[in-house]
Chains A and B, each alone.
Chain A
Amino acid sequence: MITFKLNGKTVQGEEGQYILQVAQKYGIEIPTLCYHKALEPAGMCRLCTVEVFDGRRTRFVTSCNYPVWEGMEVRTDTEAVHKGRKLIVELLLARCPEVPLLKELAKKYGIEEPRFKKEKDDCILCGLCTRICERMGNAAISLTGRGTQMKVDTPFHIQTEFCLGCGACASVCPTGHIKLEDITKHAIKPIPSEYDMGLKGRKPIYVPYAQAIPNTPAIDRSKCIHFKTGGCKICAEFCGVGAIDHTQKDEVVELDVGAIILAPGFRPFDPSRYDAYSYSKLPNVVTAMEFERILSASGPTMGHLVRMSDHKEPKRIAWLQCVGSREMHHCDHPYCSSVCCMYAIKEAVIAKEHSGADLDCTVFYMDMRTHGKEFERYYDAARERHGVRFVRCRVHTVEGVPGTDDLSIRYVTDEGNLHKETFDMVVLSVGLETSPEVLELAEKLGLSLTDSGFCRTASFAPVATSREGVYVCGAFQGPKDIPQSVIEASSAAARAGALLSGARNTLTKAKEVPEQKDIRGERPRIGVFVCHCGINIGSVVDVPAVRDYAKTLPYVEYVADNLYSCSQDTQDTMTQVIKANNLNRIVVAACTPKTHEPLFQETLVAAGLNKYLFEMTNIRNQDSWVHKSSPKEATEKAKDLVRMAVSKVALMEALPEAALDINQRAMVVGGGISGMVAAKTLSDQGYQVDIIEREPVLGGQAVNLYRTWQGEDIQQNLKALVESVGRDRNIQVHTGAELTQVEGFVGNFKSTFQAGNTRGEIEHGITVLATGCYEYKPEEYLYGKDPRVLTHQELDRKFIDGDPSLKKIKAVVFIQCVGSREPQRPYCSRVCCTHSIESALHFKKANPDMDVYILNRDIRTYGERELLYREARQAGVIFIRFSLSRKPKVTAARDCLEIEVMDHVLQRPVLIKADLLALASAIVPYKDEKLAQFFKVPMSEDGFFVEAHAKLGPSQFATDGVFLCGMAHYPKPIDESVAQAEAAASRAVTLLARKNISVNGMVACANPALCSSCGVCLEICPYSAPAFIQKGPFAGRAEINPVLCKGCGLCVSSCRSGALNLKGFEEGQIIAMINEM
C-alpha cells in the first residue's frame, strides 16, 4: 500500500496504480478524454493533468499514467490545473466545434465560444481507437501523419482486409468520428443473436438467453477477436474474480450410463428455401419465431410491436399457416406441425394486446387445429372477443407493394371470390422439423425413424425407441406442444427410472451437515456482509461506508465487504467467520434473495446455524441499479436497508422444518389404460400399488376400441396389459369398487372403498387419478332411433367382432364434432377426426368401391396423423365441410339414410344416401365432484380435472401427492394416455423415492387463544392447511398443518382476530423494520 496526499486528504493506493485510479476510488472526479480502463493510458489529451508536489517542486503530470508513490502530494483542484484544463477544452472545441461531447465539456467549463480559429473536424485525436485496435492484436488503423496533419487512418488511406470489422474502434470513439465502412472491406454487421432470431446483435461474450442454464456467459470462439489475433483479452482483466480462461479446450467426456433419453427438440422450418413467400427478400415477412421475439419485452424492440423495415407500428398483420407443414413440395413436410394454429392465435391476441384492439390481425389457415385442452375456447375468444379474423385459404404468394415496405396477398374465399389485401407485416407460421444433426445422431444410435424424420415409437410404449434403453421425448418423437413434451419428459424419466431402479441412490452421497447450534437465549450476535457485486453495487454505492456504518448498529459484531459474496471462496470464508466470531444472526446486503437466498442459507447451515437466522437485503436491484445517477443517496439508502435488515434479523428465531414420512404405497383410481400403465410404472420402480376400478373389469374405454391410429391392434395390447397387471405382485386390483372416504394428506393418505359388500381401507402415500371419460350418447342425427346410426365405439365393436353386416354396406357417412365444439361442450374431443379417418380407411381397404364421406368442420389430424388424412383422400374418401350453423340433416329413408349437407365447394346442398352413419361423438368427463372433494383437486367447467400448471405441471395437481393422467385430464388417444400415465407415475416417484420430506419453515402458525373460530382461513387456503382443532381446550379453534402450508400468507392477511402469523415474517419483525425507516 502506498500512502499519499490527495487534495490534502490522506489516501491509499496500490503499488503500480496511477493517480487517476486512486482518485476515482476516492470519488474525486478528474475529467478524461483519452483514458479507457481497458487500455494502457497514453496521456494524450492532457485533460487529466494534476499538480504533484514532491517535496521540492510542483510538477504538472497527467494523472492517468503517473504512478503513485509514497509521500507524494497531489492536487487535482488548483487554479492552474483548472485554467489549463479549460484552455485544453477550448482548443479542442475550436478543433471540433460541432462535437456534442466537447460542447458539453465546454459548457461545464463555462466556455461559450472558443477564442481561436474554428475548424470542422470531428476527431479529437484521443487515440482510443488506434490503441484499442492494437490491443485487439490488429493495428488496422493508426495515427498517421505528424502534428497538425495527424489523423486516424488505415495504411495508404484504403480500406483493408486486415481490419476484422470488430467495431472496437467505433465503440470507444467518443465523438462518432470513426466510420467502420471507411476502414474495413468486410461487411459490417452485428453478430446475429441466435436467440433473437438474428433480429438483434449480440456480443462475442454472451449469455445465450436470460434463462439459459448454466446462466454464465460463454465466449464465442468463432467471433472472439482474441481467438483470431491473439490480442485483446480485455475481458480477463475486467473480470473481478478471474473467471475467464482463454486456454480452455473442448473436452470429450465418456460416461457410463444405463439409459439414454433423447430430447434434442426440433428446429423451426426455414422459409427462405421458399421463394413464394419472399421471406429472404422482404424484411417485413417474418417467421413466427421472429415475431415472438418482437413481442418479447427482452426482444430486439423491447416488446414494442414494430415492423423491421422502418420500425413503424403495423396496422395490419397477416399470419400464413402451414408454412413448411402439410405440404408435399420438395422443401416441405407432409405432416402437421401440431402447434402452429395455436401459436398463431396466441400471437394475434398478444399483438392486439400490445398495439390496441384496432390492430387488424388475420390468420389464413386450412384447418384450425385447436385440439388441446382449453384451446378451442381460446380460439373462440380470439375470434369473437378479440376480433381476430380467420380466413380459410392457403395463400400461395406474398409480394411486396412497389415503393413501400408493405406486402400484398391474394386469396380466394370458400365462395370462390378472389381478394387482394395489403398488410404491413406477414408472419409465416413455420412448422417443426428434425434437424440434420439429430438425424445423424439417430443414425449413429441405430434408431428407427418415421418417413417424416421423427423417432418411431409404438402407441403402447410412446417414449421407447427401437433400441432398448434409449428413450425419446419432445418434438423429436413427433411435433407437439409444451404440455405434451413435458408429459413425455416425465414419461421417459419413468421408463429410464424403471430400468435403473435397482441402482437408485447407489451413487448419491449424503451431505455432511454440522449439528445445528441451539441459540435460544443467546444475545444476538449479528454478522453483516456487504457485497460489491463487482461493479454492480460497488460503482454506485460506497460499499466500505455501508460496511462501516453497519458496524455501528446494535448487536452487530462483525462486518465485512466482499467483491462477490456469492463466490465459493467467499462462502467458505463466511462459514469460518461465523464460527470464529460465534455469530448467530446473519445479514447479507447484496442482490436478490430470489436467486441467492438459498445459497447463503446453505452457508449458515454449513456453519451450524439454523438457516432462518438470516436476512437478505437487496442493495443492487432496489438500490444501485435504480439510483445509478445519485451515488450519495444510494449509499444512504443502502444504509437504511441494512439497518432495517439488522433490526429484523435480531428478532429472528430458529425455525424447525417439519419432516414427514412418506408411505411407500400408491393408489391409482381408475383401471383403464392410463390407470393400469400408471400402476405398472410404479410397480416397475418397486412400489406397491392399489387400483380402484369402478367397473367389474379392467380396461376402461379401450375395451371397445379397434385400432390405434398407427394401426396397432388395441384388444391384443389391452389383453397383454391386463394380464401383466394381474400377474404383478406389487399391484392389488379392486374392481367394482368405489371410494367412500379419503383422509390425510401427502405421504399419509387413508382411503376407504366399497366393493360390493366389502369395505376396504388403503393407507397410501400418493394418489394417481386416472378416472377417464366416456363416450357421449348423441341426441341428434337419429341416433338411438335408427340402428344404422352408430357411435365410434359401437362401430369399433362391430369391427372387433367382424360383424358380417358391414360387408353389405355400399356407402357410409361419418359426421364429426357430434357433441364437441358445440356451445354446451365447447372443447374439441381431439381423437375423433383421426378415428373417423382410420375407420374410413378400414372401410376403403375392405371395399375400395364403397362410398365414404366424412362430414367435418375442420380436420384435426395433428402431427403425423396428417398422413392418414392424405391417405384417405388418395383412397377416395370424400370430405365435405359444414359449419355449425348449417349442420347436416339426417333422415331415415326406407332402404337408406339420407344425409343432406351444404357442399362447401359447390356451394349447394348435396344429398348422400348411406347405409351407415357413424357419429364422431364427444368424449365426456365423469365430473366426479366427490372424488375432487376427497383429494381437494379442482375441476374445470367442462368437468376435466385441472392440473397444477397447464404447461409445466400437466400430470400433477397443486395438491401435493395427487397426480393426474389419461382422459380425466383431457381427451387423448392411447399413446398420449400411456405417456401421461407414465408421467404421473414418474412425478409420484419423485416423492416416494425420498421416503420423507421436510417442509419449509416459513409457515403460518395459529395462536388458538386469539382465534375466533370464524373459519375464513379454512375457506381461503388453497392447500387445506388450516383446520379446526378437534379436541381439548381449544377445540373449534384453528390450527395450521405445517406440512400442507406453503407459506403464502393468505390466511395470515385474512385473519381478523390476529391469531395467525407467518413465521419469518412475524408482525414484530415487520414493525421493527418499519420503525427503522
Chain B
Amino acid sequence: MKILGVKSLERISEEFSRNIYFPEGVKVNVGMASCGIAAGAKAALERALRECPAGDSVEVRQTGCIGFCEEEPLVEILAKGKPRVVYRRVTEEKLPEVFRDYMEEEFNKKLILCQMRDPRSVLEEDRENPQEGVIPLKGIPFLDEIPFYAHQFKIALRNCGYIDPDSIEEYIARGGYFAFVRILAEMKPQEIISTIKNSGLRGRGGGGFPTGIKWESCSRHPGERYIICNADEGDPGAYMDRSVLEGDPHSVLEGMMIAAYAIGSTQGFIYVRNEYPLAVKRLVSAIKHAEVLGLMGDNIAGSDFSFRVKISTGAGAFVCGESTALMASLEGKVGRPRAKYIHTVEKGFRDGPSNLNNVETYANVPAIMLKGAEWYAAMGTKYSKGTKVFSLVGKVKNTGLVEVPMGTTLRQIIYDMGGGIPRKRKFKAVQTGGPSGGCIPEAFLDIQVGFDELTKVGSMMGSGGMIVMDQDTCMVDLARYFLDFLKEESCGQCTPCREGIKQMLDVLTGICEGRGKEGDIELLEEMGSMIQKFSLCGLGTSAPNPVLTTILYFRDEYEAHIQDKRCPAGVCKPLFHYEVDGKACTGCHVCALKCPQEAITGNKKEVHKLDQKKCVKCGICYEACKFDAIVVR
C-alpha cells in the first residue's frame, strides 16, 4: 500500500501499536544492536526462535538497544495483561531459564533489569498507556528507578530498543512519519525552518551550529541543493549515531526528508562508515521500506515533493567526519577538507548548496516538528536546548548510552547515572568531545553540559563521547594517546596539523619515556596555540585540546614526568616501578601466582618481594592485589 496522507498512517499505526504494546500472545524482544550482538544476543535470538515452547502464541523479534550496554544482552518479554519485563545478561544458555521465569511468573530479581512503567515514546502521549492497569511486580525497579535511567529523557533514542528497526510499520506505530506527512500537507518550508530555529536545536555533530539557521541559508542559495547526513561517527569510544541507525533508522530518514522539504532538495546522501555494517544494512532496508510505502521517491504521499536518499559508505577516515572532507569523499575524491571560507550551504557537494547534519540532529527533527518548538526549547540551558546523547565509557561502573537534557551536570551523569568509579579508585578527569576534546578535572564536575559550557572549560561537546578516567590514568600518556590517534588521522594537507602534531607527539613521547626536558611544556603550549589558530580544518584546530587541557589542569603531572622522571599514575613504564607495600601485604600469594615473569616471591602469609630486574611492569599484580599492597612508586 502507499501512504497518501495522515489517514493511511493512522491505519498502520493502529494496527501495529497493538503488535508493539498488546500482543496476542507472548512477545520476546531481543536487543540486536551491535552492542547486544557483541554480548551474544544473536545466539540468544536464534535459540529463542528455535526453542520457544509456546508455539504460535510466542513472537520473537529483534529491536535496537535501549542503551544499557553494561547489561547486554537485554531481552524484553511482554504478554497481554502482564508486566513488561526486561531481563539482563541473557546469553544463549540463560535464555530458557529467563523464558521460564517469565512464563511461570517467578520473576527472579537476579535475572531482571527492570520492569516497564510506560514504554510509550515522547510522541505518543495521547495514546493509551499500555502498562496502565497492569499490576507492578514487587521489589523490581521500574526503568526510571534504575539510576542509569534516572535522569534520561529520550528524544533521539525514543524508539531504540522498542521497535523492530526493520519494520517501518512499527516506526509509524510510534508516531513516525506523522510529522513529515502532516508537513507535506500543511506547512510551508519557511514555517518548518522557523520551527527548527525557534526550537534552538544545534548541530549534534559537535559544532553546535544552529540547525535552523543552517537550513535557512542553504535554502537561500540557488542551485541543486543536497541534504547530507553525516553518519561517519569516528570518535573512539563513541557510538551514539550507530545506536540510532541500528535501532531507529527511520527517524533519521524522516528528519532528512523534513529538512529536504524545508530546504528544497530532492536528493539526500547518508555518508556512513563501512565499519557499521549493521547500520548500513538497516538503512538500506529502511530506505526500501520507505520507498514501498511511497514515503520516498517521486510525489511522496501524493504531494509534489520528491526525494531520494543514497547511501555512501566511508572507508574509515576520521577526517571524513569533517563536512568538506566528507563531501569530497562523497564526490569520489580523496577525503580531504578544504577551507570553509565559502560555506558548504553555498557551495558544497558538487558545488551545490549542501545541508549537512549528523544522525542525532536529524533524529531530533521529527519530534520537534510534532511536539513543537516550545516543547523542545523548554529543555536545556539558555543556549543549548533539548537533550543530548552521550556514550558514557571508561572508568565508570555503568557504561552505555545516555540521553539527558542539556544542563544535566557532569557529576549527575558520571556518579548518579554512571554509578561512579569502580574499585574505589579516585576520579581524575572526564574527557568529552572525542579525541580532540579536552579533559575536565574534578573541580568542574558540577558544570552543566551544553555547547558553550564545555567550551568554557577548554573541552567541547563534540558528538557526545564521554570517557571517564580514574587515578590510574596518566594524563601525559593520555594526551600522547589522543595525539597519536590524531597524527594517524590527520589528512596531511596543512603544515600545522601534519608537521605540528607529529612534532608535538614526538615531544610528548619524549616526556613519557623520560627524555622530557625543561621547556618542553612551553614548547607544547606554543605549538598547540599555533596549531589551533593556523590549521585548515576542525581536526587541526582542535587537535591540541587534549594536550593543552591536560597541561592546564594537570601541569604537576607533566612536571613530575619531566623534572622527577616519575609517572604518578604508573602508566609510563620507564618512569615508575611497582613495589610491595609491606604494611598492606597479607601474603596471600595471588600476585606471585599471576606474575608472568615470576618476579614476585614470598611465602604465604609473609610479606612478598618483587624483583625489579625481572618485572616488566605489566601491572597484573597491581590489578590482582585485593589489599592495595602493590604500589606505584
A, B: real partners:
yes
Seen from chain A, the residues whose Cβ lies within 8 Å of a Cβ on chain B are 42-47, 49, 60-62, 65-67, 80, 83-84, 87-88, 91-92, 94-95, 115-117, 124-125, 127, 142-143, 145-150
**CB neighbours of B490 from chain A (8 A):** 146-148
Tell whether A148 pairs with B502 under 8 Å between CB atoms, given A46-B536, A49-B534, A67-B341: yes
Across the interface, A92 reaches (CB within 8 A) one of B491, B495, B534, B536, namely: B495
In whole angstroms, what is the CA distance A894 to B122 when docked?
148
In the complex, which residues of chain A have a beta carbon less than 8 angstroms from the beta carbon of B338? 42-43
B491–A46 touching, CB < 8 Å: no
B530 contacts A83, CB within 8 Å? yes
Cβ-neighbour of A66 out of B341, B494, B499 (below 8 A):
B341
* Given contact pairs A115-B523, A143-B334, A60 touches B496 in the complex (Cβ within 8 A): no
Q: Please, how many angstroms separate the alpha-carbon atoms of A148 and B499 in the complex?
A: 7
Q: A64's closest neighbor in chain B, by CB?
A: B339
Known: A88-B499, A148-B502. 10 other contacts (CB 8 A): A44-B536, A62-B339, A83-B526, A83-B530, A91-B503, A116-B503, A117-B506, A125-B498, A143-B336, A148-B498
Nearest chain A residue, comparing its CB with the CB of B523: A115
* Complex contacts, B334 vs chain A, CB 8 Å: 142-143
Q: Is B275 an interface residue (CB 8 A)?
A: no
Chain B residues, Cβ within 8 Å of A127: 493
B200 within 8 A of A: no
**When chains A and B are docked, how far (Å) is the Cα of A117 from the Cα of B495?**
15
Residues of B within 8 A of A150 (CB): 491-493, 498
Q: How far is the CA of A43 from the CA of B534 in the complex (A)?
A: 10
Could you mark each residue 500-519 of chain B with 1 if its beta carbon is under 8 Å from any beta carbon of chain A, else 0? 11110010000000000000
Q: Is B191 an interface residue (CB 8 A)?
A: no
Contact A94 B495 (CB under 8 A): no
Which residues of B are interface residues toward A (Cβ below 8 A)? 317, 319, 334, 336, 338-339, 341-342, 487-496, 498-503, 506, 523, 526-527, 530, 533-536
* Shortest beta-carbon distance from A35 to chain B in Å: 13
What are the residues of chain B within 8 A of A145 when measuring CB–CB? Answer: 492
Residue in contact with B500 in the complex, picked from A44, A45, A80, A91, CB distance below 8 Å = A91
Given that A46-B496, A146-B491 are contacting pairs, would A88 and B530 also be in contact in the complex, using a CB cutoff of 8 Å? yes
Given contacts A46-B535, A62-B339, A66-B339, contact A143 B492 (CB under 8 A): yes
Partner of A46, one of B492, B495, B502: B495
Most chain A beta-carbon neighbours within 10 Å: one of B319, B501, B533? B533
Alpha-carbon separation in the docked complex, A66 to B339 (Å):
8
Q: Which of A42, A115, A146 contacts B317 (CB 8 A)?
A: A146
Interchain CA distance A257-B282 in the complex, whole Å:
81
Distance to closest chain B CB from A847 (angstroms)? 93
Whether the Cβ atoms of A44 and B493 lie closer than 8 Å is yes
CB distance from B333 to the nearest CB of A (A): 10
| B492 pairs with A87, CB closer than 8 A | no
Which residues in A have their C-beta under 8 angstroms from that of B489? Answer: 146-147
Quote the shortest CB–CB distance from A123 to chain B (angstroms). Answer: 12
Question: Which residues from A are CB-within-8-Å of B317?
Answer: 146
A13 to B278, CA, bound (A): 53
What is the CA–CA distance of A80 and B534 in the complex, to the nearest angstrom? 10
Contact check, B342 vs A67: say whether CB atoms are below 8 A apart. yes
Task: Give A60's nearest chain B residue, CB to CB.
Answer: B533
CB neighbours (8 Å) of B499 from chain A are 88, 91-92, 94-95
Q: Are B492 and A117 in contact (CB under 8 A)?
A: no
Find chain A residues with CB under 8 A from B503 CB.
91, 94, 116-117
If the complex has contacts A61-B341, A94-B503, A142-B334, are A147 and B534 also in contact, measured as CB distance less than 8 A?
no
Instruction: Give the 10 A-B CB pairs with smallest separation, nearest first.
Output: A150-B492, A91-B499, A147-B490, A60-B533, A116-B503, A147-B492, A43-B339, A84-B530, A87-B530, A46-B534
Of B319, B492, B526, the residue contacting A148 (CB under 8 A) is: B492
Residues of B within 8 A of A62 (CB): 339, 536
A61 to B, closest residue via Cβ? B341
A88 touches B495 (CB 8 A): yes
Shortest A124–chain B CB gap in Å is: 8
B430 to chain A, nearest CB (A): 28
Whether the Cβ atoms of A45 and B491 lie closer than 8 Å is: no
Looking at the assembled complex, report how far the CB atom of A81 sits from the nearest CB atom of chain B, in whole angstroms: 9
Q: If A143-B334, A150-B492 touch, does A60 touch B534 (CB 8 Å cutoff)?
A: yes
Instruction: Give A1036 to B257 CA distance when docked, in angstroms.
Output: 108
- Docked pose: A44 CA to B540 CA in angstroms: 12
Contact, CB under 8 Å: A45 / B341: no
Tell me the bound Cα distance from A961 to B488 in angstroms: 87
- Nearest-Cβ distance from residue B510 to partner chain A, whole angstroms: 9
Residues of B within 8 A of A125 (CB): 492-493, 495, 498
Nearest Cβ on chain A to B615's Cβ, whole angstroms? 31
- Alpha-carbon gap, A758 to B220, bound state (A): 104
Which residues on the A side are within 8 Å of B500 (C-beta)? 87, 91
Chain B positions within 8 Å of A146 at CB level = 317, 319, 488-492
Nearest B residue to A49 via CB reads: B534
B492 (CB) vs chain A CBs: closest residue: A150
Pull 8 A–B residue pairs with CB atoms less than 8 Å apart, ordered by A. Answer: A45-B495, A62-B339, A83-B530, A91-B496, A91-B499, A117-B503, A147-B501, A148-B492
* Min CB gap A33→B, angstroms: 8
Chain A contacts for B535, CB-based, 8 A: 46
Quick one: which of B491, B492, B536 contacts A43, CB cutoff 8 A? Answer: B536
Task: Please determine whether B493 and A88 come into contact, CB atoms closer than 8 angstroms.
Answer: no
Complex alpha-carbon distance, A117 and B341, angstroms:
33
Q: Is A47 a contact of B495 with CB atoms below 8 Å? A: yes
* Closest CB in chain A relative to B502 CB, distance in Å: 5
A56 smallest CB distance to B (angstroms)? 15
Within 8 Å by CB of A91, from B342, B492, B495, lies B495
Query: B502 — nearest CB in chain A belongs to which residue?
Result: A148
User: With the chains together, A148 CA to B506 CA distance in Å?
Assistant: 13
Are A43 and B530 in touch, CB under 8 angstroms? no
Cα of A42 to Cα of B536 in the assembled complex, Å: 10
Residues of A contacting B506 with CB < 8 Å?
Answer: 116-117
> A64 to B322, alpha carbons, bound, how many Å?
22
A608 to B492, CA, bound (A): 65
Are the C-beta atoms of B341 and A44 separated by less than 8 Å? no
- Residues of A contacting B496 in the complex (Cβ-Cβ under 8 angstroms): 46, 84, 87-88, 91
Q: Flag if B487 contacts A147 (CB, 8 Å).
A: yes
Identify which of B334, B490, B502 gathers the most chain A CB atoms within 10 Å of its CB: B502
Residue numbers in B under 8 Å from A91 (CB-CB)? 495-496, 499-500, 503
Q: Which residues of A contact B487 (CB under 8 A)?
A: 147-148
